[in-house]
Structures are given as C-alpha cells and as structure tokens.
Amino acid sequence: MILTLLVFLIILSLLVLIHEAGHYFVAKYFGIKVEEFGFGFPPKAFSIKRGETVYSINWLPIGGFVKLYGEDEAGGGSVKLRPSERVKDEKRAFYARPVWQRAAVVLAGVIMNAVLAIVIFYVYLGISGFKAELPLLGDHKFFGVEQSKKATV
C-alpha cells in the first residue's frame, strides 16, 4: 500500500514537472518574465532565487505552478489597465504579449505531456526489441505479417 502510494506520487510528480517545464521554457523563449517555478503547492519547504526566478519546492507534492509576471494584473486580458496602474517592464508581462504567444505558453504544458507519452512509448518498444505481442481473437490473416495464434486465458 505504501509502495503503491509512493510510486503514484513519483509518477504524478514527473508528469507535473514535465508539464510545468513546458510552460516555463516557452515563456522564457518568448521573453516573458517567470517570477516563480513551484513544484508542489505552498506552503514553501525550500526556495532559491536564480536570476529573476524563484525556484521552490513546496510541502504538498500533488501539483506545481509557474507564476508569470503580469499574469494576474489584466485578468486574462479582459481588464484594460490605466497608465497609472501599468506594471514596470510591461513588455515582459504575460498579458502584454500577443495572443498567439500566450496561447503557446498555455498549450506548452499539454504538448510536453504528449511528448513524454511518446518518449515513454518508444522507450518501452526499444526495451522490448520493437516487438509487441497481441493475442489474436479470431482467424484473421494479415498480409505481410508473421503471426501465430496463442491460447488466451
């Protein structure tokens, strides 16, 4: 039971880390300031600041987040800020970026999860010698495929 829970948390942590890394690297690529890269949910257990980004490990290990500069100020782009409310260094703010760049940052997490699935699939195939055994449920004959019928239980 404990081992199952531990394996589950490790796999979930890997998925979350890859997902959040997708957001992080695409935001950095477009020049959006990343304020914090958090692994787990607060309260913070440990944090370190490298450059302009705080990297934190938090106590609740079931998630993660990337906090982008200017992500909250404009409410997802629906609020127009008055000049007195503008954030400094606005050109690096999330809300000030073109829609296609914001969409790329948001979609990067899902794309990274898909890439991870593909990598895991091909690693598994490589380990198994690029052979897969599937039981035949009938007498289907496939052209160009060497097949044998095995007993299924």
Handedness of CA 37, 42, 43, 46 (dihedral sign): negative
Q: Which of the following is catalytic: 20, 35, 90, 146?
A: 20
What is the amino acid identity at position 35? E
Handedness of CA 78, 56, 62, 107 (dihedral sign): positive
Beta bridge partners of 97: none
Q: CB of 20 within 8 A of CB of 64?
A: yes
Determine whether 52 is an active site residue: no
DSSP state of 128: T
| Catalytic residue ranges | 20
